Copies of this chain bind each other. A is one copy, B any other.
Amino acid sequence: MTGPIARRVFTDQEFARRWQSLRRILTDHQVDLAVLVDADTIYYLTGFAGSGSAFQALLVPMDNEPVHLLRYTEELSFLSTSWLDVPAFYNDWDNPVVLAARLARKLVPRLRRVGIEKASYHLAARRYEQLMAEWPGALGVDLSDAIGWLRLVKSPEEIEQHRQAAIAVQRGLETGVAAVRAGVREREIAAALAGTLVRAGADTLFPGTIVSGERLRDVDGRLGDRTLQHGDLVRMEMTNSVNRYWARLTRMVSVGPPSAEMAELYEQVRLAQEEQIARLVPGAIPSELDAFVRSKLPIGLWTMQLSGYALACHECRIGWSELDRFWIVRDEYRPLAAGMVFHMVLTAGPGLSVGDTVVVTEQGGRYLTTYPRDLIVVE
């Protein structure tokens, strides 16, 4: 199952492990075949790093080799990145969803139970109906949660990718902080740090969220035109990925000395979070971890309802997919597992935040981002 590979990120052992886990999911759900259309799931299983915008389907018969159906433009990407041997291509005038459904029937003529990912953005309602219409009498079995959970628990090779991403965002933050001063526009800071990100091997030039002053509470990551003033607080939430494994790093920068009140609040938030991160062990319950950190500060100061979220493997921005969503938040009772990677981020008062990328271990959360956690002050 190994093709001619020009740029493979993971070892054969790593891919073999992932496929073993997938096969176990298929067995547990008693499906004849899975039709996986989520670009991130497909990347996870094959390493295929194509455009992601064109429809694709990975067909996995229970008793046979998988087949990857792709747009004809993806041949070069397939050859240079995929762990698999067998591509099938469709043309721009085809309906690739119907083609995938028919290919599934060819691989397993008597389809009874087909594994699909109902929570994936790539399986929009129309595509879902088109698939099911080609399989009369068959049942679509939702594998979303099982596959999502599999993707959330990271191997050492995957954690290494998160660590590389952590290094990239740290370098980006350093460059960004050096650009912060009164008179500079937020988007100039973004422009300054983008070059550093890309030279550090980041997948994209995405600068993360850089907001200041009255925009501080805006969780939105868009580029801003606000000009920094003396006395401003700036929230810098660096976000980028290496080989689609993300890291986030959130720090506050004060333009000139912060008020005593803000400095004190920041310290409270920072210390509360450090106690919480120390509790990120396998078996810990997100709802309890969230309640723990909230007990450390007056309730009126909380401005975000979650205190962390899993960083997954995604082509696009974090948070897009419900497939592998896992938050440190009230009413989330699924226990943490060793190897999960979180952006632990606390926000209080007028948008004061601190956040690090952390991996769950038996000894508590281990920081992948290692930037000093103090409030940063520039003149």
- Complex CA–CA separation, A198 to B195 (angstroms): 12
B204 touches A187 (CB 8 A): no
- Complex CA–CA separation, A77 to B92 (angstroms): 38
- Complex CA–CA separation, A234 to B205 (angstroms): 20
**Quick one: which of A191, A199, A207 has the most chain B CB within 10 A?**
A191
User: In the complex, which residues 57-102 of chain A have their Cβ closer than 8 Å to any Cβ of chain B?
Assistant: 72-74, 76-77, 91-93
**Quick one: which of A53, A119, A198 has the most chain B CB within 10 A?**
A198
- Complex CA–CA separation, A322 to B198 (angstroms): 31
Please give the distance in Å from A95's CB to the nearest CB on chain B. Answer: 10
- Complex CA–CA separation, A74 to B91 (angstroms): 40
User: In the complex, which residues 97-155 of chain A have their Cβ closer than 8 Å to any Cβ of chain B?
Assistant: 116, 118-129, 140, 142, 144
- Complex CA–CA separation, A316 to B204 (angstroms): 13
Please give the distance in Å from A103's CB to the nearest CB on chain B. Answer: 19
Which listed residue (B91, B123, B221) contacts A125, Cβ 8 A?
A: B123
A192 neighbours in B (Cβ, 8 Å) = 195
Interface size on A, residues (CB 8 A): 66
A92 touches B305 (CB 8 A): yes
Which listed residue (B118, B194, B330) contacts A194, Cβ 8 A?
A: B194
Copies of this chain, whole number? 2
- Complex CA–CA separation, A336 to B303 (angstroms): 48
Q: Is A43 interfacial (CB 8 A cutoff)?
A: no
A191 touches B198 (CB 8 A): yes
Which listed residue (B93, B126, B320, B329) contacts A144, Cβ 8 A?
A: B126
A191 touches B187 (CB 8 A): no
A53 touches B223 (CB 8 A): no
Q: Is A222 interfacial (CB 8 A cutoff)?
A: yes
Please give the distance in Å from A23's CB to the nearest CB on chain B. Answer: 23
Which listed residue (B121, B188, B202, B207) contacts A124, Cβ 8 A?
A: B121
Which listed residue (B76, B91, B316) contacts A305, Cβ 8 A?
A: B91
B76 touches A218 (CB 8 A): yes
A121 neighbours in B (Cβ, 8 Å) = 121-122, 124
B129 touches A124 (CB 8 A): no
Interface string of A282-308 (1 = CB under 8 A from B): 000000000000000000000011100
A118 touches B122 (CB 8 A): no
B220 touches A50 (CB 8 A): yes
A203 neighbours in B (Cβ, 8 Å) = 222-223
B223 touches A199 (CB 8 A): no
B205 touches A190 (CB 8 A): yes
- Complex CA–CA separation, A167 to B309 (angstroms): 38
- Complex CA–CA separation, A128 to B131 (angstroms): 15
Which listed residue (B73, B191, B194, B319) contacts A54, Cβ 8 A?
A: B319
A93 neighbours in B (Cβ, 8 Å) = 305, 329-332
Q: Is A247 interfacial (CB 8 A cutoff)?
A: no
Which listed residue (B53, B116, B306) contacts A319, Cβ 8 A?
A: B53
Q: Is A327 interfacial (CB 8 A cutoff)?
A: yes
Q: Which residues of A contact B (CB under 8 A)?
A: 49-51, 53-54, 72-74, 76-77, 91-93, 116, 118-129, 140, 142, 144, 187-188, 190-192, 194-195, 198-199, 202-207, 215, 217-223, 304-306, 316-320, 322, 327, 329-332
5 of the cross-chain contacts (CB-CB < 8 Å) are A53-B320, A92-B330, A120-B125, A124-B124, A205-B205
User: 10 nearest interchain CB pairs?
Assistant: A205-B205, A125-B128, A53-B319, A118-B126, A191-B195, A118-B125, A92-B305, A93-B331, A121-B121, A191-B198
